[in-house]
């Protein structure tokens, strides 16, 4: 079983963050999951907090809402900058994104 399958099967809480140093500003993430991602005026994507405010601190994370998991994972897979990281909240192991096992 892969790390991804384990995370889904275990119903573990996941969180997502964006590495703005790698972001190409294509906006694919905001198209897939506008509830989670948004482009700022600087042309880079950021995650959004519960109050829809962009979290611009380096490495800022937000929980991945279960109903949006597929959209967030698709964002990570399709991102040309390979800058979207989805990891288990409990231990920080990346399950989707460029550093996933």
pLDDT in tens, 47-74: 999 899 999 999 999 999 999 999 999 9
Residues 6 or more apart in contact with residue 56 via CB below 8 angstroms: 40, 46
State residue 30 phi and psi, 5-degree precision.
-70, -25
Please give the share of the chain, as a percent, with pLDDT higher than 90.
Answer: 86
Antiparallel, parallel or unpaired: β 62-63 and 14-18: antiparallel
pLDDT at 32 over 70: yes
Tokens of 96: 């989707």
Instruction: Determine the average pLDDT of the residues in 66-90.
Output: 96
Tell me the residue ranges of DSSP E strands in 1-101: 14-18, 37-39, 45-48, 54-55, 62-63, 84-88, 94-96
Instruction: Determine the average pLDDT of the residues in 77-86.
Output: 97
């Amino acid at each position: 079983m892969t790390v991804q399958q384990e995370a889904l099967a275990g119903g573990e809480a996941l969180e997502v963050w964006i590495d703005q140093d790698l972001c190409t500003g294509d906006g694919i993430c905001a198209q897939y999951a506008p509830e989670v991602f948004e482009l700022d005026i600087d042309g880079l994507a950021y995650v959004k907090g519960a109050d829809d405010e962009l979290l611009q601190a380096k490495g800022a994370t937000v929980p991945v809402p279960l109903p949006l998991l597929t959209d967030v994972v698709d964002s990570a897979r399709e991102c040309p900058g390979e800058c979207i990281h989805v990891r288990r909240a409990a231990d920080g192991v990346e399950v989707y994104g460029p550093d996933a096992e």
